Amino acid sequence: MKLGWAAGRVLAKQGNGPVLVGKDTRISGYMFESALEAGLSAAGVDIRLLGPMPTPGIAFLTKSTRAQAGIVISASHNPFYDNGIKFFASDGTKLSDDIESEIEYELNLPMQSVYSRDLGKARRITDAPRRYIEFCKSKVSSNTDFNGLRIVLDCANGATYHIAPKVFEELGAEVISHAVSPDGLNINDECGATSPESLQKLVKDSRADVGIALDGDGDRLIMVDHQGNIIDGDDILYIIAQSHIEKLNGAIVGTVMSNFGLERAIKGLDLKFLRAAVGDRYVIELLQKEKLVLGGETSGHIINLDLSTTGDGIIAALQVLETMSVKEKQLSELVVGMTKLPQIMRNVKLNEKVDISKLTPINNAIKDVENTLGNTGRVVLRPSGTEPLVRVMIEGENEAQVKKLVEQLANQVEQEVASLS
């Protein structure tokens, strides 16, 4: 409630527009929605309640309705007992650092309501799903339809359950829906982009052409070809890149964790491949800095800035299906030009926060591994953003060699960190 109040206080200085509030399907969303509504109202800001909506749908509606901001209640791909709150600015992008700092400042102040006559009013936007469905459909060429295409669609019992099936059906596809019965507790539960095993089986059993798995808030996806093989974010980036070269301004953006095979394949298309830090926020920042339009993560966050202001699983899936239709190829054929390198990661636990980059023995060990790999692989040591871990990742052409090098380097990191305790 205080976060809603603090955000409302800051936004009230910007203008008089309402703030949109949407959520995914986890049970705690009811509680957070009511609390945010109360806080915003106490700050004198009007509220528009969207109900269950995908994160990119809330970003779209924030911009299209000229709202002051959009609030998403979601923990994305996490289990139902987690939840979180994120904000979009009026243009459908992430809030600026300055606005975030102002909100943090207000959070430290005593909460005081405006006078009764100045309280914000709340109402529901009942046609929000239909507006977003039409928005998604508009991103496919008007002369493209998916007649004859059989899709298995896994909505993770999340925010796309009542939207994604209609998008693909209305574009002509035969849709076999899975995980579209949310009960507040089953979001991402052995389904969706983080658990595609059931989708793989369903695709093969139903002899479908393609499988699509979205995550709980609909901002990322994993796909499955007709043989049941996983098509991850790296594959999806390559597919979209090769069919839209003319609009990419000469480069695309991945992350430090994107497979080296993707980098090679993108360079094979005469495009540059840039790497951002892990996280869709950093991908978007680099895209904007370099005036590019396409980027994403291995996990399935795909950003098409010429189509949407944020990662959008439905729109990314539509781009892939349109490529299949135009090229008249199966999904498995569209990734033939990319050969992924074995990529192995091991997590090293930390007892306290340590800046690995400043430890000379570890830097020397990294250089030794890089010399061993030459130009055929990479080494990445990355602190986890949410856990006391360092992720040790190595990729190269020889899987047995990569496994051996990962163990060696991870053991050296463990020993060095232990010596500091």
Q: What does the pLDDT look like over 270-300, one tens digit per residue?
A: 999 999 998 888 999 999 999 999 999 999 9
76 is catalytic: yes
- Looking at 3.30.460.80, 3.30.1950.10, 3.40.120.10, 3.20.20.70, the CATH number of the domain 131-335 comes to 3.40.120.10
Helix (H) or strand (E) holding 319: helix 313-327
Residues 337 and 344: their CA atoms lie apart, in Å, by: 22
Computed on alpha carbons and rounded to an integer, the radius of gyration of the chain in Å comes to 23
Q: Write b or e for each residue in 34-53: b if 16 or more Cβ atoms lie within 10 A of its Cβ, otherwise e.
A: ebbbbbbbbbbbbbbbbbbb
Q: What's the rounded mean pLDDT across residues 255-276? A: 95
DSSP reduced 3-state for 25 = coil
CATH code that applies to domain 2-126: 3.40.120.10
pLDDT at 384: 75
Alpha-carbon distance 192 to 346, whole Å?
24
- The per-residue pLDDT for 315 is 98
Residue type, 135: F
Residue 11 near residue 45, CB atoms below 8 Å: yes
Distance CA 247, CA 329 (A): 22
Q: How far apart are alpha carbons 377 and 239 in whole angstroms?
A: 23
Among 11-20, 99-108, 373-382, 411-420, top mean pLDDT goes to: 99-108
Cα 158 to chain centroid, rounded? 14
Cβ-based neighbour number of residue 62 at 10 Å: 30
Structure tokens at 183: 């009960």
CATH number of 343-420: 3.30.310.50
Distance CA 297, CA 254 (A): 6
Residue 295: its H or E element: strand 294-296
- Residue linked to tokens 């779209």: 60
Give the pLDDT band of residue 350 (cuts 50, 70, 90): confident
**Hey, what amino acid is at 137?**
K
Is the pLDDT at 133 greater than 70? The verdict is: yes
Q: Residues 162, 303, 389, CA angle at the centre, nearest 5°?
A: 95
Q: What's the chain's average pLDDT?
A: 94
Cα gap 223→193, rounded to integer Å = 8
Whole-number Å distance between alpha carbons of 72 and 55:
6
For 411, phi then psi, to 5°, come to -65, -40
Give residue for tokens 């953006």: 253
- When pLDDT is averaged across residues 21-39 and rounded to a whole number, the result is 98
- How far CA 119 is from CA of 6, 112, 392, in Å, comes to 14, 12, 52
Per-residue pLDDT at 61: 98
Query: Averaged over 6-16, what is the pLDDT?
Result: 90
Average pLDDT score over residue span 417-421: 76
Element (H, E) at 272: strand 272-276
* pLDDT tens column, 320-348: 999 999 999 999 999 999 999 999 999 98
Q: What percent of the chain has pLDDT over 70?
A: 99
Residue appearing with tokens 């009230």: 12
Choice among 41, 74, 76, 195 that is catalytic:
76
DSSP 71-129: EEE--TTS-TT---EEEEETTSSBPPHHHHHHHHHHHTSPP-PPPGGG---EEE-TTHH
Other Cβ atoms closer than 10 A to 5: 27
> What are 315's two structure tokens?
């729109």
Q: Tell me the pTM.
A: 0.92
Going by the DSSP 8-state scheme, the letter that residue 276 receives in this structure is: E
When pLDDT is averaged across residues 158-182 and rounded to a whole number, the result is 98
pLDDT of residue 421: 67
Going by pLDDT thresholds of 50, 70 and 90, the confidence category of residue 170 is: very high
Beta-carbon contacts of 256 under 8 Å, excluding residues fewer than 6 positions away, are: 275, 276, 277, 278, 380, 382
**Span 76-104, mean pLDDT?**
94
Query: For residue 93, what are the CA distances in angstroms to 67, 98, 253, 290, 369?
Result: 12, 14, 18, 17, 40
Strands 272-276 and 251-255: parallel
Name residue 361's amino acid.
P
Query: In the chain, which residues fall in CATH 3.30.310.50?
Result: 343-420
Q: Which residues contact 374 (CB under 8 A, 6 or more apart)?
A: none
Q: What is the pLDDT of residues 176-218, one digit of tens each?
A: 999 999 999 999 999 999 999 999 999 999 999 999 999 999 9
Q: Mean per-residue pLDDT for 398-417?
A: 91
Place of tokens 């944020």: 310
CA 309 to chain centre: 12
Q: Using the predicted structure, report yes or no on whether residue 387 has a pLDDT greater than 80.
A: no
Please check whether residue 1 is in contact with residue 39, taking contact to mean a CB–CB distance below 8 angstroms.
yes
Q: For the chain, where do the domains classified as CATH 3.40.120.10 start and end?
A: 2-126, 131-335
